[in-house]
Amino acid sequence: MKAKDLLKYVATPSRVVVTIVIMLFLVCMLELLAMAAGYGVYEFFGLEEQRVHRPQRRIGSVSEEELTEEEEKRLSRLRIAQKHFLPDSTIHLTVKKDVPESREFDSLDSFRRRPRRRQPKLTTTEVYDANNNLIWQGRSDETPYEYLLWTKRPGRRFRYKNFREMHMITPEFSQTLEMPVYSETGGQLWRYLPDSDVFVGYDTGRGKIGYIGAAGFAESKSSAEPFGKFRLLIAWIPKDADNRLMLWQTDTRIYEINFEKQQVHIIFDSPQSPIKWLRQLNWDLSQQQDIEPSIQYRPLLHCLTKDGKLHLLLREPEQRVTINIPEDWWADAVTVTATEDNIFLLRRDMERRAPKAYAQPPMRTHEWRRQFESRASREWIELYSVDGKGNLELVNQLEWTHPPIRLGRLSDRFDPPAYKRVTKAFATPLYNWLWDLAPKELLLAAYESIETVRDVMNLIEETRGRNDILNWAVSLVMVAVAFWHGWARRRGWGRLVFWLVFVGLFNLAGLLAYLALNHSTVIKCPVCGKGRGLVRFDCARCGEELPRPIRGELDLIFEG
């Protein structure tokens, strides 16, 4: 292949790519404008009001109309109340209510739309037993009961998402992860090196101290062992300490790093099965509590590995417990706690649990929601006692029922108003197919961590076609217009078919790109009288060649 041909084969597709990218963006913008205009028209004529408040119907086995008002209230309370456990495993239902606060404004502050001073929010609490009987009522801060606290995600965690954001180039350059260490003799600074996956330390004189890797301190970078793929870190300053400790989680390990002592402890290692998530209770002991709790909790870290095992790492005293989570449990909703006397496991579950493929194509998600949300479903919590070998014993449970969701609300969510349906009909149906084919985890990770990707995906979600008959009908119209335009200008069947398929796939954006790249002047054929493109030597209809210009008297070049 000659270099000239190669250039042509690269240049032409690249021009098409540039054009279609810009046209897709343009069409997105046009769609947004059209939707805004459509919404304005709906608002002006009061159509939006009619649409939102249209009669709703309900299906399902449980009909709430059959219940008395009191029963309805009790059921509703059961659903919305927070469920708590006392250390003796008794269940309490609590309902918090805000006391309306007076928002006084002075003249200047009312202009600024700010309250003059913020009052602490006052709430009252009603406590019910498992049979829904009121047992206590009063101010929330005077509650006589102390309930069990459960492990939760570390609040100030630094996740993989933050890790990526930190390394994003940005106009202000990427950032580095730096851990300062203070001492009376001078300071140190430990900086994470992403390429070698170790920390390097500098002292106040900017001399290198050494490296910290998975195996601990090392004199040189080559002898420092990399930690492994980063997932999460928690850093905290323990009570009565000056410097932070760091919990560093990778795919398979959890490290605790003490930079001051230049020590690394592997507190969990699961080489066979990667860690799915990590939760903790009192592990981060820097948090000062205003009221000393009467229940004494042991520091607890627990993580779920992908093989479905829940690993509990306890301190005071050191203990490790592994629990096999049954396959039918919703493992992500399991939490644990450890008091001085017992270890408890709390299981929450529901019939309406989203499938694993919940974050899959939205069309399928909508189908699932229609199926499950339109009928009554059960939800329950179970409290288990855990022994030292990880065996579970059920000690208490509570179950309640959710009523079906009104179909009217469902249709509002999934069936957009007419102006949106019409506007979306001009979008490319390709987005839905790409969503089907794309690697979901990668896409969702990019969505979570990159703001621009999030903006682009939100824009696409707002304007993407619904892949319905209207969408395809508009695509067909676009193909017909392209065919009508291209017939007289065609320079080969392959080329014409390519452009027709292209227009069919990209809809309006495809047609605009086609016109931008293929429009040429058409003249009237002197033989058949029909239009013919000037880029083609012969007429597409009669096959006659372009007419030669008539020789003038002053022409200097003659044909032989």
Partner 1 sequence: MRFLMLVRKELRQSLPWLLLGAVSLMAIAGCILWLQVRYSIYDSYDSYRSTSRYFDITRHPPLQAIGPVLLITSLALGLILGIQHFWMPHFKQTWSFLLHRSVSRKTIFMAKLTAAALGFVMSLGIVWLALYFYGYHSANVPAPPVLRVFVEGCIFMMLGLVVYLATAVTGLSTARWYTTKIFPLLFTPVVIVATVCQWKLAGAFAVIIVGVVILLSQALEIISNREF
Footprint on this chain of partner 1 (rule: CB under 8 A): 4, 7-8, 10-12, 14-15, 17-19, 21-22, 156, 158, 162, 164-180, 182, 186-187, 189, 191, 193, 195, 202, 204, 206, 235-237, 244, 286, 449-453, 516-517, 519
Query: What distance in Å separates the CA atoms of residue 412 and residue 51, rounded to the nearest whole number?
Result: 8
Nearer to partner 1, 12 or 110 (CB): 12
Bridge partners, residue 97, by sequence: 124
Considering the complex, what minimum distance in angstroms separates the CB of residue 13 from partner 1?
9
Nearer to partner 1, 43 or 242 (CB): 242
Nearer to partner 1, 115 or 226 (CB): 226
Considering the complex, what minimum distance in angstroms separates the CB of residue 265 from partner 1?
20
Considering the complex, what minimum distance in angstroms separates the CB of residue 196 from partner 1?
11
Considering the complex, what minimum distance in angstroms separates the CB of residue 356 from partner 1?
28
Query: What distance in Å separates the CA atoms of residue 521 and residue 511, rounded to the nearest whole number?
Result: 17
Nearer to partner 1, 4 or 121 (CB): 4
Query: What distance in Å separates the CA atoms of residue 42 and residue 229, rounded to the nearest whole number?
Result: 52
Considering the complex, what minimum distance in angstroms separates the CB of residue 469 from partner 1?
33
Nearer to partner 1, 162 or 396 (CB): 162
Query: What distance in Å separates the CA atoms of residue 417 and residue 48, rounded to the nearest whole number?
Result: 8
Nearer to partner 1, 205 or 552 (CB): 205
Q: Are 297 and 339 in contact (CB under 8 A)?
A: yes
Residues 366, 367, 372: CA angle, nearest 5 degrees: 95
Task: Considering only the C-alpha atoms of the chain, give the largest distance between any 2 of them, rounded to a whole number of Å.
Answer: 115
Nearer to partner 1, 248 or 344 (CB): 248
Nearer to partner 1, 103 or 495 (CB): 495
Among 457, 326, 317, residue whose Cα is nearest residue 391: 326
Considering the complex, what minimum distance in angstroms separates the CB of residue 408 from partner 1?
41
Among 433, 431, 453, 432, residue whose Cα is nearest residue 442: 453
Considering the complex, what minimum distance in angstroms separates the CB of residue 30 from partner 1?
15
Considering the complex, what minimum distance in angstroms separates the CB of residue 187 from partner 1?
3
DSSP states along 285-318: TTPPPSS--SSPBPPEEEEEETTSEEEEEETTTT
Mapped onto helix, strand or coil, the DSSP state of residue 212 is strand
Residue 394: alpha-carbon gap to chain centroid: 35
Q: Are 161 and 449 in contact (CB under 8 A)?
A: yes
Other C-beta atoms closer than 10 Å to the C-beta of 285 total 14
> 350 — phi, psi (to 5°)?
-155, 155
Nearer to partner 1, 164 or 369 (CB): 164
Considering the complex, what minimum distance in angstroms separates the CB of residue 504 from partner 1?
21
Considering the complex, what minimum distance in angstroms separates the CB of residue 336 from partner 1?
25
Q: Are 34 and 419 in contact (CB under 8 A)?
A: yes
Nearer to partner 1, 62 or 168 (CB): 168
Let me know if 141 is exposed, middle or buried by CB neighbors in 10 A (0-12, 13-18, 19+). Answer: exposed
Other C-beta atoms closer than 10 Å to the C-beta of 101 total 12
Sequence-distant (6+) residues with CB within 8 A of 63 are none
